[in-house]
Amino acid sequence: MFNINNFLHSGALGPAAEWKGYPKYNFIGGHNDDESIPIKSLKDSIDNIILKEGKTLAKYGLESGPQGYLTLRNFISLQLNESASIKCSEKEILVVSGSLQALDLVNQTFLKKGDTVIIEEENYGGTISRLNRLGVNMVGVPIESDGMKINALEEILKDLKSKDIKPRYIYTIPTIQNPTGTIMSVKKRKALIDLSKKYEVPIFEDDCYADLIFDKERPPAIKSFDKEGYVIYCGSFSKSIAPALRVGYLLADWHILSRILPYKTDAGSGSLEQMALAEFCKSNFNSHIKLLRAKLKHKSDTICNALDKYFGSSADFTKPNGGIFVWINLPETVDTSRLYDLALKEGVAINPGSEWSINTSGKHKMRLCFGNPSTKEIDEGVKLLAEICQKEFGVPAQIANS
């Protein structure tokens, strides 16, 4: 039998595990609730657009060029102006296959092994794993209730400059930060731009959850304060419409985007998805988002109530202001990596905090996503998780019966 191991390079990744379906209580990943997908409206949009513009599928790029479907880019430009105060044109937007491709493209453009980037010390696991794989040095900035600790960031920038180290970019998720759920204040957003210009370090702003703020007003994007082109902005339809559509976008001044674009060598992101989204969003985006926020807020309340009921004071968390996840700090006796293994055997999947932190701060933390499971599954799953945690770690001291 052919032995692939004899042909793999020294840095090859380990084998993938065979997928055997989702666990019964799935609190991981950025999944949506299947009942939240606007199937009827999407079907109507596909039917309409395929008859009007289906023949453009004969060409890569739908006759819109390598940056993606022009009608969709026009919608993104208008929507960002309205919701995030970003003034941009469709020429500054690149449609990508989800925000993960956006991360990869920016990293390919800016980074090489041994480079340094600055990120929030608790951060998106997909970003951390990619930077680790590239052999990049990550410098973490602590997070406060209103976002990245700006004073600490300035000290980091000063220190790196004194060592003649130029960070390649500052990566931040300012709105519904992943995993902490914090929302950066406007004051800090402006201060971040000032530091970016002072030290001449670009900002990579990941705003994938910004459409999902429950009640508070969405703050202007950091990009909206950018007059000199220091900010590269990333957004996505994965959380607002459907993850499996795999449509996201990058926004940057053309002199930057023109250097990123050559790395997108996949002949274009899925064209039918772009066409359907453009047609759907034209009439349905804002009304759909309003309904989705209300549903997610209800689920957020459900998981917070379940955590209070079954974990009591042993689970320290801040009630989310939006998004699909809650970040939980457990007592030091609980190792959430160990909890992950134990819980998965019982059909409960969690994100252990160690995968969402660049230091040891995540060892006793976990991220639970509430977007996919039903309210009944949320309650049952959190109860089962508490029982497993109590049996292994003695936390919480006792479990509620109902």
Q: Is residue 14 part of a domain?
A: no
Residue 320 · residue 364 · CB < 8 Å: no
Q: With bands split at pLDDT 50, 70 and 90, how would you rate the model's confidence at 400?
A: low
Burial of 52 (0-12, 13-18, 19+ CB in 10 A): exposed
The answer to whether 95 touches 249, Cβ cutoff 8 Å, is: yes
Q: Are 157 and 264 in a shared domain?
A: yes
CB 236 within 8 A of CB 99: yes
pLDDT, tens digit, for every residue of 210-243? 999 999 899 999 999 999 999 999 999 998 998 8
Average pLDDT over residues 24-31: 92
Which of 255, 284, 313 is at the close of a domain? 284
Q: What is the extent of the structural domain holding 98? A: 39-284
pLDDT exceeds cutoff 90 at 60: no
Residues 211, 297 share a domain? no
In a domain, 113, yes or no: yes
Q: What's the confidence (pLDDT) of residue 13?
A: 86
Q: Tell me what percent of the residues of the chain surpass a pLDDT of 90.
A: 82
CA–CA dist 378, 371 (Å, integer):
10
- 351-367 confidence digits (pLDDT tens): 999 999 999 889 999 99
Residue that finishes a domain, picked among 237, 258, 284: 284
pTM score of the predicted model: 0.94
Identify the CATH number of the domain in which residue 302 sits: 3.90.1150.10
Q: Which of 284, 301, 320 is the last residue of a domain?
A: 284
**Residue-wise pLDDT tens digits, 141-164:** 999 999 999 999 999 999 999 999
Are 195 and 342 within one domain? no
| For residues 161-183, average pLDDT | 97
Q: How far, in Å, CA of 68 to CA of 268, rounded?
A: 7
What the block records as the tokens of 34 is 């299947």
Q: How many domains does the chain have?
A: 2
